[in-house]
Amino acid sequence: MDKVLFICVHNSARSQMAEAYLDLFGNGEFEAQSAGFEPTSINPLVVEVMREEGVDLSSKGVQSAFDLFRQGRVFSYVITVCSDADEAQCPIYPGLVRRLHIPFADPSKLEGTREEKLAQLRGIRDQIREAVKGFVAWVRAGGEGDLMHHIRQ
């Protein structure tokens, strides 16, 4: 079973959604977790848009990537899902691991009314859903070649 860690800055949105989707689409082939470098609390709008997908994140906590490292946790894949600008600040998770970067916009920086933010967040959610499906297909195909090709399909 491949262990996968999704990391974003706060573990409040993108990494939580990616973890939930891998649990949903991985058919028990993966052990998914998510963490942040500066964990805060889960974004209530994320809870709302994931509930629309039948996923309940209302009781989900956040965790620190550094705490996982200190606990000696080892992962087959570490996937950063923060924006390209934030990814440059992400330290490399140590150990024998395949590090991947799949960037998504930061939901904490969305602007507009509540409904406008929800609409933008649904777009990010849908992108994450499709990326996780692509990741699963890529791993099942042997993990060789261009991951982004699988994500775009």
CATH number at residue 38: 3.40.50.2300
The predicted structure's pLDDT at residue 82: 86
- Residue 142 located in a structural domain: yes
Using a 10 angstrom Cβ sphere, with 0-12 exposed, 13-18 middle and 19 or more buried, the burial of residue 92 is exposed
- Residue 153 located in a structural domain: no
**How many domains does one find in the chain?**
1
The owner of tokens 């990391």 is 7
Catalytic residue among 4, 7, 8, 20: 8
pTM (two decimals): 0.92
Averaged over 41-67, what is the pLDDT?
Answer: 95
Residues in the chain, overall count = 153
- Residue 151 located in a structural domain: no
Which SS3 state, helix, strand or coil, does residue 98 take?
strand
The predicted structure's pLDDT at residue 121: 97
pLDDT at 69 over 60: yes
60 tagged catalytic: no
The predicted structure's pLDDT at residue 151: 74
**Shortest CA distance to 15 belongs to which of 61, 66, 73?**
61
- Residue 72 located in a structural domain: yes
82 tagged catalytic: yes
Q: Which residues pair with 3 in a beta bridge?
A: 31
8 tagged catalytic: yes
Catalytic residue among 82, 121, 128, 136: 82
- Residue 152 located in a structural domain: no
- Residue 14 located in a structural domain: yes
Q: How confident is the model at residue 143 (pLDDT cuts 50, 70, 90)?
A: confident
Domain assignment of residue 13, given as a range: 2-146
**Lowest-confidence segment of 57-66, 88-97, 108-117, 141-150 by average pLDDT:** 88-97
